[in-house]
Structure 1
């Protein structure tokens, strides 16, 4: 891919495509079946935590999966998956015989934006940490190649803006179909694209030679379903594909380095460009959103900011 990646063998891109479609397929399985979701995001992780990851993700291993960040990211992603399943399906009968649903509780609707913000913040801290390493010509840290530069600061700021532009969470609904998806109408395409650009830049900056998979493929695996399979459910798609990928990486840590490597070009210009795009997109979104809030006198903590857009209306109509 020119300035971004260099693969020694084109067959690795075929494997990349397989990874992309496998993530989408397992996401659909977990999305459309409650029991499959519980198996994938609760039963399997417990088994792996006890019997597999102590070996494959041991601290100091040669593939870098034993870092605090990988372990935290694994369980925060799985917490999101299980939390969203609970939000979609947990219900109980009150003393008066009325059936209550977890998603009816305002405090429960705070969980999706909170876990999302925490995940973004973890990555922002990592970008700043990589800058602090002072590897201006590149180097290996925790068994992963990386290079420090202004791109880390630029993308860290982009991530902070991305957190600040999360909006409309009190408008989250559960779809009326059998899959009972968690639908976030106010999370329209503009925020999703800004997030994708920021997250890709983060993976490119901090997990450079793995970013073809954990950045490009992983982001497409949740963005494609959002636009073409189940609109409005981006965060649910994101949590599940992230959970699936990170479990796989923790189990087969040599995959991106030995079995099917697609390294970056290690070109400083590439790092600068992807981070600049991320900062520009998130900066533009923040300015637009601020102006929209001011013009319409909206409360960003309570109101849905994009209720007047066709994208919002379409998602709401499809899922009510």
Structure 2
């Protein structure tokens, strides 16, 4: 890709390589999120490039041409996107090119919408199946949380993921899962500190994301950062965490309300939407894979399901990084949509917190909404 004065490609210059949408995913510096570039190539020599990251949402129309196994994009000085530093993209195969973007070599990959949506749906179904299997088999549970994270660590260290936040998100739910194993397989559920640790790790998981939001510092991130704090302040009845008497020994949090789960989901989706545009769609699938079973399969198990499905996703993403990136399902994203979604997250989490405080401190509970007033919220 050559950056400089633009001249449109003549029809004879346009080789019929795979037109349509290609994409680039970049990992931002410490304290920021990912960048997603969506490149739509047209046969008349135009290419529309959309950049989505935590700093900017911009669209440029440029021109392109092929020279042998290299693809050149021609930019104008007035363009907003100038991150293609080397100016040359080299074909690796029919679906992959390589270029230096933001100082790092990255791949440009063909985006197949049908394959990406199929992957998303199958991942959602697979997450629920693996979670249900781990519920019913302690061997699978121990393999997932104790064996796999140790055996796969050398491989994960070589896949090119440097962001501290992603590593924290990988291992914090794994450690969290150890306590679920202890509660389900030993007498440690009798210890109050084990219950407290499960609640504390959940709160730490939220605060990791809040710290990321505040470190980015844009208004949508700040609004959603406060939404995360509201979410933390509304955590209640952790002393009721206990394994049940079923054969699965599910760890229940009976006092966790459905409305809390839903506003938490809103906050979490908004966080990913703001900072990791390449992961928004699959994060919705991850959250749904925890929320739906906790509503329709077994009530009270949401925290257990959330930790299991998050661990499944993070280990899957580290183990098959390129495959997951290639099958990104992009979402609509503008500065206005970021602000609107973040304002909604702020509002619903604040509203829930106010209802919760109204019950806790004024002893006035809403008639039709559970906010923690009952030891069992379902």
Give the distance between the partners of 2:315 and 2:236, measured in 1 at CA.
29
Contact 1:8 1:262 in 2 (8 A): no
Match of 2:147 among 10, 20, 43: 43
The residue number in structure 1 matching 2:242 is 173
Give the distance between the partners of 2:374 and 2:348, measured in 1 at CA.
21
Give the distance between the partners of 1:188 and 1:297, measured in 2 at CA.
17
Deviation, 1:261, is: 1.7
The residue number in structure 1 matching 2:199 is 113
More strand by share: 2
Residue deviations 1:115-160, cap 9 Å, x none?
00000000001111222xxxxxxxxxxxxxxxxx311000000000
More helix by share: 1
TM-score (norm 1): 0.78
1:22 and 2:109 equivalent? no
Contact 1:256 1:262 in 2 (8 A): no
1:72 and 2:72 equivalent? no
The residue number in structure 2 matching 1:82 is 178
Give the distance between the partners of 1:197 and 1:38, measured in 2 at CA.
30
Match of 2:323 among 247, 255, 260: 255
Contact 1:157 1:279 in 2 (8 A): yes
- Pairwise CA RMSD of aligned residues? 1.9
Contact 1:210 1:256 in 2 (8 A): no
Contact 1:255 1:261 in 2 (8 A): no
Residue deviations 1:14-62, cap 9 Å, x none?
2211010111111111111111100111111111013x11211xxxx3x
- Number of equivalent positions: 264
Give the distance between the partners of 2:262 and 2:174, measured in 1 at CA.
23
Q: Which runs of 5+ in 1 are unaligned?
A: 91-100, 132-148, 299-303, 315-320
Q: Which has the higher contact order (CA 8 A, sep 6+)?
A: 1
The residue number in structure 2 matching 1:189 is 258
Deviation, 1:227, is: 0.4
Deviation, 1:305, is: 3.1
Larger radius of gyration: 2
Deviation, 1:297, is: 8.8
TM-score (norm 2): 0.67
Contact 1:84 1:236 in 2 (8 A): yes
